[in-house]
Structure 1
Amino acid sequence: MSSFRIFDIAGSALSAQSVRLNTVASNLANADAVSGDENTVYRARLPVFQAAAEPGQDDAAGVRVLGVVESQAAPEKRYEPGHPLADAQGYVYAPNVNVVEEMANMISAARSYQSSVDVMNTAKDLALATLNLGR
């Protein structure tokens, strides 16, 4: 087992949390966007992760982002007949984004990202200390 594998694992975690943060940012940016058609309204997006294992090894070696999927929850239907985007029945459709849930998700992703940065810094410091033992 390579002693530098920790950098690959922490790097995959950084990449995954970056995708998660970008997804949350996209959801929050579109939380107030409305549409006159429920098929075209913004839907919350969710990243899908999978434990990544190297071929021939049983243990996980990081995380892989499989993709970003749209939520299947129904959009919020609001009766606003005076709205310029209202449909023929007077309804507008708002995204299915829960702002409080997204903020909690953002805090969690930011803390996970920072933890991965700390892991990389600690691994780097330990590697440097090991190299300095030979002096």
Structure 2
Amino acid sequence: MPDLTQSMSISSDGLRLQSQRLRHVSENIAHADTPGYQRKLLSVKTQGFTLSEAQGPQSGRVILDQSPVQEIYDPAHPLADSTGHYRGSNVDLVIELADARAAQHAYEANLKMFQQAREMSTSLLDLLRK
């Protein structure tokens, strides 16, 4: 029974991590047109896996993507410099959508694992009652 509760704990950690990842992706998409915005990335900490101390992935610090931001030419923009350029963001919507899809699939996989462990523990309790 402890193994089932550990697997449910690990999958709930995965669910929490993927929901945080989706939150950062949605923030990046929301700020795609914000001048000077840098894309946020979520680092992941994993512990050594042993049967006695199983722990799922944990979210680490938020890292700002260091890829270069776009220089956009628009002399009418209020933030434009003397050459008519201003700094855009380094958010690529195609990459963000791909990250969102990957996080969604990982979330669904963790949810399925949690449901399977819950069903197995329920079945085990039913067997023990008989």
Do they superpose with TM above 0.5? yes
AA aligned to 2:2 is S
Query: What is the Cα deviation at residue 11 of structure 1?
Result: 1.1
Cα distance per residue 1:47-100 (max 9 Å; x no partner): 00021237xx48863101111110111110011111122123211111101100
Question: Which 4+ residue blocks in structure 1 deviate beyond 4 angstroms?
Answer: none
5+ residue gaps, structure 1, are 35-40
Match of 1:38 in 2: none
> Which residue of structure 1 lines up, in the alignment, with residue 48 of structure 2?
53
| Count of aligned residue pairs for this structure pair | 127
- Rounded to whole Å, the distance in 2 between the matches of 1:51 and 1:125 is 27
Instruction: Report the TM-score when normalising by structure 1.
Output: 0.86
Q: CA RMSD in A?
A: 1.8
Structure 1 residue aligned with 2:75: 81
Identity, % of aligned positions: 28
- Is it true that 1:108 corresponds to 2:102 in the alignment? yes
Unaligned runs of 5+ in 2: none
Alignment partner, residue 64 of structure 2 = 70
- Kindly indicate whether the alpha-carbon contact (under 8 Å) linking 2:74 and 2:84 is maintained by their aligned counterparts in 1: yes
Question: TM-score by structure 2 length?
Answer: 0.89
What is the aligned partner in structure 2 of residue 22 from structure 1?
Answer: 23
> Relative to total residues, which structure has the larger helix share, 1 or 2?
2
